[in-house]
Amino acid sequence: MFELQLKNDSLFLDVLESILDLVDVASVDCISTGLRLQAVDTEHVAMISLLFPPEFFSSYNCEKNRSICIPIDNMVKAIRSSNKDDIITIKVGKENLDISLSFESPGGNIATAYDLLLVEGKSPCFEIPGWRALDSKYQAIVKMPFAEFVRVCKYLSNIGSDGDISVTKKGLKFSALGKSGRVNIKYKKAEEATVEFVMQKPVSVTFDLKYVSSFAKVSTTFGQVKICLLTNQPLMIECKIKHEGYIRYFVTPKAKPEMEEEEIEGSGEGKEGSECLY
Protein backbone atom coordinates (compact mmCIF):
# COMPACT_ATOMS: atom_id res chain seq x y z
CA MET A 1 0.00 0.00 0.00
CA PHE A 2 1.27 3.46 -0.92
CA GLU A 3 -0.53 6.64 0.05
CA LEU A 4 0.31 10.33 0.20
CA GLN A 5 -1.66 13.46 0.91
CA LEU A 6 -1.03 16.99 -0.30
CA LYS A 7 -2.74 20.31 -0.84
CA ASN A 8 -4.02 21.62 -4.16
CA ASP A 9 -1.33 24.33 -4.26
CA SER A 10 1.49 21.79 -3.93
CA LEU A 11 4.69 22.21 -5.93
CA PHE A 12 4.33 18.59 -7.03
CA LEU A 13 1.20 19.50 -8.97
CA ASP A 14 2.98 22.48 -10.54
CA VAL A 15 5.65 20.09 -11.82
CA LEU A 16 3.07 17.85 -13.49
CA GLU A 17 1.51 20.89 -15.18
CA SER A 18 4.88 22.15 -16.41
CA ILE A 19 5.84 18.88 -18.13
CA LEU A 20 2.38 18.13 -19.55
CA ASP A 21 3.26 19.39 -23.04
CA LEU A 22 6.59 17.56 -23.08
CA VAL A 23 6.01 14.04 -21.76
CA ASP A 24 3.26 11.40 -21.91
CA VAL A 25 4.43 9.01 -19.21
CA ALA A 26 6.52 9.43 -16.08
CA SER A 27 8.33 6.74 -14.14
CA VAL A 28 7.63 7.05 -10.41
CA ASP A 29 9.45 5.26 -7.62
CA CYS A 30 7.56 5.21 -4.33
CA ILE A 31 10.26 4.57 -1.74
CA SER A 32 10.80 5.13 1.96
CA THR A 33 13.04 8.15 1.33
CA GLY A 34 10.40 9.90 -0.77
CA LEU A 35 8.72 10.05 -4.14
CA ARG A 36 11.11 10.03 -7.10
CA LEU A 37 9.88 10.91 -10.58
CA GLN A 38 11.72 10.73 -13.89
CA ALA A 39 10.49 11.45 -17.39
CA VAL A 40 11.91 12.06 -20.85
CA ASP A 41 10.15 14.13 -23.49
CA THR A 42 8.89 12.50 -26.66
CA GLU A 43 11.80 13.92 -28.69
CA HIS A 44 14.37 12.61 -26.18
CA VAL A 45 15.82 16.10 -25.80
CA ALA A 46 15.07 16.78 -22.14
CA MET A 47 14.84 14.74 -18.96
CA ILE A 48 13.32 15.74 -15.65
CA SER A 49 14.37 14.12 -12.41
CA LEU A 50 12.93 15.04 -9.04
CA LEU A 51 12.81 13.84 -5.48
CA PHE A 52 10.15 14.90 -2.99
CA PRO A 53 11.04 13.69 0.54
CA PRO A 54 8.26 12.38 2.83
CA GLU A 55 8.34 15.62 4.86
CA PHE A 56 7.26 17.55 1.78
CA PHE A 57 3.78 16.01 1.85
CA SER A 58 1.01 16.42 4.42
CA SER A 59 1.28 12.66 4.96
CA TYR A 60 3.35 9.93 3.32
CA ASN A 61 2.97 6.19 3.84
CA CYS A 62 5.11 3.69 1.93
CA GLU A 63 4.88 0.14 3.25
CA LYS A 64 6.88 -1.33 0.38
CA ASN A 65 9.06 0.17 -2.35
CA ARG A 66 7.40 0.08 -5.76
CA SER A 67 7.81 1.49 -9.26
CA ILE A 68 4.93 2.59 -11.47
CA CYS A 69 4.34 4.44 -14.74
CA ILE A 70 1.76 7.21 -14.54
CA PRO A 71 -0.09 8.83 -17.48
CA ILE A 72 0.68 12.54 -17.04
CA ASP A 73 -2.21 13.81 -19.17
CA ASN A 74 -4.89 11.86 -17.28
CA MET A 75 -3.39 12.78 -13.90
CA VAL A 76 -3.36 16.49 -14.70
CA LYS A 77 -6.91 16.46 -16.09
CA ALA A 78 -8.18 14.77 -12.93
CA ILE A 79 -6.33 17.14 -10.61
CA ARG A 80 -7.61 20.18 -12.51
CA SER A 81 -11.13 19.20 -11.50
CA SER A 82 -10.29 19.70 -7.83
CA ASN A 83 -11.04 22.89 -5.95
CA LYS A 84 -8.37 25.25 -4.64
CA ASP A 85 -8.83 24.31 -0.97
CA ASP A 86 -9.24 20.56 -1.49
CA ILE A 87 -7.05 18.01 0.24
CA ILE A 88 -5.72 15.57 -2.37
CA THR A 89 -5.02 11.93 -1.50
CA ILE A 90 -3.13 9.66 -3.91
CA LYS A 91 -3.10 5.88 -3.43
CA VAL A 92 -1.60 2.92 -5.27
CA GLY A 93 -2.92 -0.56 -4.46
CA LYS A 94 -0.91 -3.74 -3.95
CA GLU A 95 -1.35 -4.93 -7.53
CA ASN A 96 -0.02 -1.73 -9.18
CA LEU A 97 -2.96 -1.75 -11.59
CA ASP A 98 -4.37 1.69 -10.96
CA ILE A 99 -3.83 4.90 -9.06
CA SER A 100 -6.61 6.47 -6.97
CA LEU A 101 -7.04 10.21 -6.54
CA SER A 102 -9.55 11.66 -4.10
CA PHE A 103 -10.35 15.32 -3.48
CA GLU A 104 -11.99 16.31 -0.22
CA SER A 105 -13.22 19.75 0.76
CA PRO A 106 -11.86 21.27 4.02
CA GLY A 107 -15.10 20.51 5.84
CA GLY A 108 -15.23 16.98 4.50
CA ASN A 109 -18.74 17.41 3.10
CA ILE A 110 -17.73 17.07 -0.58
CA ALA A 111 -15.55 14.25 -1.92
CA THR A 112 -14.59 13.31 -5.49
CA ALA A 113 -12.68 10.16 -6.44
CA TYR A 114 -10.87 9.00 -9.57
CA ASP A 115 -9.38 5.59 -10.38
CA LEU A 116 -6.90 5.88 -13.24
CA LEU A 117 -5.25 2.96 -14.99
CA LEU A 118 -1.48 2.91 -14.78
CA VAL A 119 0.64 2.48 -17.90
CA GLU A 120 1.40 -1.19 -18.38
CA GLY A 121 4.91 -2.54 -18.52
CA LYS A 122 8.06 -2.16 -16.51
CA SER A 123 9.05 1.36 -15.51
CA PRO A 124 11.71 2.57 -17.94
CA CYS A 125 15.10 3.55 -16.58
CA PHE A 126 16.06 7.04 -17.70
CA GLU A 127 19.73 7.80 -17.42
CA ILE A 128 22.31 10.21 -18.74
CA PRO A 129 25.47 8.13 -19.07
CA GLY A 130 28.03 9.23 -16.50
CA TRP A 131 26.23 12.41 -15.46
CA ARG A 132 27.06 11.93 -11.78
CA ALA A 133 30.75 12.14 -12.67
CA LEU A 134 30.18 15.47 -14.43
CA ASP A 135 29.74 17.44 -11.21
CA SER A 136 33.48 18.02 -10.87
CA LYS A 137 33.95 18.55 -14.62
CA TYR A 138 31.51 21.37 -15.31
CA GLN A 139 33.26 24.25 -17.04
CA ALA A 140 30.95 26.81 -15.47
CA ILE A 141 28.26 26.94 -12.79
CA VAL A 142 25.74 29.77 -12.61
CA LYS A 143 23.55 30.59 -9.60
CA MET A 144 20.79 33.15 -9.80
CA PRO A 145 17.43 34.04 -8.21
CA PHE A 146 14.67 31.94 -9.73
CA ALA A 147 12.65 35.07 -10.51
CA GLU A 148 15.59 36.39 -12.54
CA PHE A 149 15.83 33.08 -14.39
CA VAL A 150 12.13 33.35 -15.31
CA ARG A 151 12.70 36.90 -16.57
CA VAL A 152 15.64 35.81 -18.74
CA CYS A 153 13.64 32.93 -20.27
CA LYS A 154 10.80 35.32 -21.09
CA TYR A 155 13.08 37.84 -22.82
CA LEU A 156 14.88 35.18 -24.84
CA SER A 157 11.62 33.52 -25.91
CA ASN A 158 10.30 36.87 -27.16
CA ILE A 159 13.01 36.86 -29.84
CA GLY A 160 13.83 33.30 -30.84
CA SER A 161 13.30 29.59 -30.31
CA ASP A 162 16.92 28.87 -29.39
CA GLY A 163 18.89 30.41 -26.56
CA ASP A 164 22.57 30.53 -25.72
CA ILE A 165 24.41 30.70 -22.40
CA SER A 166 28.08 31.61 -22.41
CA VAL A 167 30.52 32.16 -19.56
CA THR A 168 33.89 33.73 -20.36
CA LYS A 169 36.41 36.04 -18.70
CA LYS A 170 34.18 38.93 -19.73
CA GLY A 171 31.23 37.58 -17.75
CA LEU A 172 27.95 35.71 -18.15
CA LYS A 173 25.75 36.22 -21.20
CA PHE A 174 22.33 34.92 -22.23
CA SER A 175 21.37 35.57 -25.85
CA ALA A 176 18.85 34.69 -28.53
CA LEU A 177 18.68 35.39 -32.25
CA GLY A 178 15.49 35.45 -34.27
CA LYS A 179 13.84 36.92 -37.36
CA SER A 180 12.90 40.05 -35.42
CA GLY A 181 16.38 40.69 -34.05
CA ARG A 182 18.70 39.71 -31.21
CA VAL A 183 18.65 40.01 -27.44
CA ASN A 184 21.67 39.91 -25.12
CA ILE A 185 21.53 39.85 -21.33
CA LYS A 186 24.93 40.29 -19.72
CA TYR A 187 26.14 39.98 -16.14
CA LYS A 188 29.49 41.01 -14.75
CA LYS A 189 30.95 39.88 -11.46
CA ALA A 190 30.27 42.18 -8.52
CA GLU A 191 30.86 41.99 -4.79
CA GLU A 192 27.18 41.84 -3.83
CA ALA A 193 25.69 40.48 -7.05
CA THR A 194 22.62 38.25 -6.81
CA VAL A 195 23.76 36.43 -9.95
CA GLU A 196 26.89 34.39 -9.31
CA PHE A 197 29.00 32.34 -11.70
CA VAL A 198 32.18 30.33 -11.41
CA MET A 199 34.20 29.47 -14.51
CA GLN A 200 36.81 26.76 -14.80
CA LYS A 201 36.99 27.14 -18.56
CA PRO A 202 35.12 29.34 -21.08
CA VAL A 203 32.01 27.62 -22.35
CA SER A 204 28.98 28.31 -24.52
CA VAL A 205 25.87 26.13 -24.81
CA THR A 206 22.95 26.53 -27.22
CA PHE A 207 19.60 25.05 -26.23
CA ASP A 208 15.95 24.85 -27.26
CA LEU A 209 14.07 27.48 -25.26
CA LYS A 210 10.90 25.38 -25.25
CA TYR A 211 12.43 22.95 -22.78
CA VAL A 212 14.22 25.45 -20.57
CA SER A 213 11.15 27.70 -20.42
CA SER A 214 9.05 24.75 -19.23
CA PHE A 215 11.27 24.58 -16.15
CA ALA A 216 10.63 28.27 -15.53
CA LYS A 217 6.90 27.47 -15.31
CA VAL A 218 7.29 25.07 -12.40
CA SER A 219 7.02 27.50 -9.51
CA THR A 220 7.93 31.00 -8.41
CA THR A 221 8.52 29.82 -4.84
CA PHE A 222 12.10 28.72 -5.50
CA GLY A 223 14.77 30.95 -4.06
CA GLN A 224 17.60 30.06 -6.39
CA VAL A 225 18.37 28.10 -9.54
CA LYS A 226 21.69 26.50 -10.46
CA ILE A 227 22.76 26.05 -14.08
CA CYS A 228 25.71 23.78 -14.92
CA LEU A 229 27.50 23.98 -18.26
CA LEU A 230 29.84 21.58 -20.03
CA THR A 231 30.64 21.52 -23.74
CA ASN A 232 28.70 18.85 -25.66
CA GLN A 233 26.95 17.60 -22.52
CA PRO A 234 23.34 18.14 -21.35
CA LEU A 235 22.66 21.49 -19.72
CA MET A 236 21.72 20.81 -16.09
CA ILE A 237 19.27 23.12 -14.29
CA GLU A 238 18.58 22.44 -10.63
CA CYS A 239 16.41 23.82 -7.85
CA LYS A 240 16.58 22.56 -4.30
CA ILE A 241 13.46 21.62 -2.36
CA LYS A 242 13.28 21.64 1.42
CA HIS A 243 14.23 18.50 3.30
CA GLU A 244 16.96 17.53 0.79
CA GLY A 245 14.64 17.32 -2.19
CA TYR A 246 15.41 18.59 -5.69
CA ILE A 247 14.16 19.15 -9.21
CA ARG A 248 16.64 18.72 -12.06
CA TYR A 249 16.23 19.34 -15.77
CA PHE A 250 18.73 17.97 -18.27
CA VAL A 251 18.52 19.48 -21.77
CA THR A 252 20.55 18.20 -24.72
CA PRO A 253 22.48 21.09 -26.32
CA LYS A 254 21.89 22.06 -29.93
CA ALA A 255 24.67 22.22 -32.49
CA LYS A 256 25.47 25.76 -33.54
CA PRO A 257 25.36 26.57 -37.27
CA GLU A 258 28.85 27.21 -38.63
CA MET A 259 28.00 30.78 -39.60
CA GLU A 260 26.59 31.67 -36.19
CA GLU A 261 29.06 29.88 -33.95
CA GLU A 262 31.17 32.37 -32.06
CA GLU A 263 34.64 31.53 -30.92
CA ILE A 264 34.96 31.33 -27.15
CA GLU A 265 38.12 32.96 -25.99
CA GLY A 266 40.62 30.40 -24.74
CA SER A 267 38.20 27.50 -24.90
CA GLY A 268 40.34 25.19 -26.98
CA GLU A 269 37.34 22.92 -27.52
CA GLY A 270 36.81 20.93 -30.71
CA LYS A 271 33.45 20.55 -32.42
CA GLU A 272 32.38 17.17 -31.18
CA GLY A 273 28.88 15.72 -31.28
CA SER A 274 26.49 16.37 -28.42
CA GLU A 275 25.46 13.55 -26.14
CA CYS A 276 21.80 12.57 -26.28
CA LEU A 277 19.45 11.52 -23.50
CA TYR A 278 18.15 7.99 -23.22
Confidence of residue 257 (pLDDT cuts 50, 70, 90): low
Average pLDDT on 94-115 reads 88
Q: What's the rounded Cα separation, in Å, for the pair 227 and 152?
A: 13
- What torsion do the CA atoms of 218, 250, 241, 186 make, to the nearest 10 degrees? -70
Looking at CATH, the fold of the domain delimited by 2-117 is given as DNA Polymerase III; Chain A, domain 2 (3.10.150)
DSSP for residue 79? H
H-assigned helices in the chain: 11-18, 72-80, 146-159, 209-216
Q: Annotate 131-161 with DSSP letters as a single string.
A: GGGGGGT-SEEEEEEHHHHHHHHHHHHHH-S
Decide which of 11 and 30 is more confident. 30
pTM metric for this prediction: 0.83
For the chain, the structural domain boundaries read: 2-117, 131-251
Q: Give mean pLDDT, residues 73-88.
A: 90
Classify domain 131-251 at the CATH topology level: Proliferating Cell Nuclear Antigen (3.70.10)
pLDDT digits (tens, 9 = 90+) for 163-211: 999 999 999 999 999 988 999 999 998 766 899 999 999 999 999 999 9
d(CA 45, CA 140): 21
CB 175 within 8 A of CB 185: yes
